[in-house]
Amino acid sequence: MLSFLEIGQDGSVNVSRLASRPHITAGAGGFVDITARARHIVFSGYFTTAGARYDLADGMLRIVQEGKVRKLTPQVEHVTFSGRRALELGQQITYVTERCVMQLRPTGLTVTEIAPGVELERDVLGQAGFPLQVDADLRTMDARLFRPEPMGLRLR
C-alpha cells in the first residue's frame, strides 16, 4: 500500500513533487522500484485535502466540510507512477480513499465501492477534477471501517 499526493485522469500518481508545497515532498525514494515490478498496487489517501472534516456515526461517513484541494486532477503535476504504463504491463491498480474505492481500467478510473453515508454524485463524482466511471455493480464499503470499535480481525 502506497500513498498519493495527486491522481490524474489517466491513473497516473504524483507522490514526489508539489510546487506549491515543496516542504512536504521529499522525492520518490523507493516508490518507483516498488511500483515498477508489483502486479497489484494499492494507493491510499484522502479524496480532498486542506480543511476537510469528517464525522463517523453508526457505521457511516459524513463529510462535514469538504477540502479546498481536490486530489483527483486532470493531469498530475509530476508523474511518479504512470497509469498508462501500468495498463500496458497488466498491473492491477486500486485507489482507496475515505469515501470510495476505485480501480484503473482501460476505460478510465472506475468507482467500484462507496462509503456508507456518502452520496455518489455530490461527494465523489462532484469532487473529482475529471469524469469518473462507475461500476455497474457498485458496492458499499464495509461499515466496520467507519466504526470506532475494533473490527475483530485476526492474523492467521
Which candidate, 4, 35, 32, 36, places its Cα nearest to that of 17? 4
State the total domains in the chain.
1
The domain containing residue 80 runs over which residues? 2-143
55 occurs within a structural domain? yes
Buried-exposed string 65-102: b where 16+ CB fall within 10 A, e elsewhere = ebbebbbbbeebbbbbbbbeebeeeebebbbbbbbbbb
Cell (9 digits) for 130: 475529471
Distance in angstroms (rounded) separating the CA atoms of residues 155 and 90: 30
Tens digits of residue pLDDT in 120-149: 999 999 999 999 999 999 999 999 999 988
> Residue 74 contacts by C-beta under 8 Å, 6 or more apart in sequence?
8, 9, 129, 130
Tens digits of residue pLDDT in 24-65: 655 556 777 778 889 999 999 999 999 999 999 899 999 999
* 92 has pLDDT over 80: yes
156 occurs within a structural domain? no
52 occurs within a structural domain? yes
CATH code assigned at 16: 3.40.1080.10
Which pLDDT band holds residue 110 (cuts at 50, 70, 90)?
A: very high
153 occurs within a structural domain? no
152 occurs within a structural domain? no
- Put simply, whether the predicted model's pTM sits higher than 0.85 gets the answer yes
| pLDDT for res 27 | 59
132 occurs within a structural domain? yes
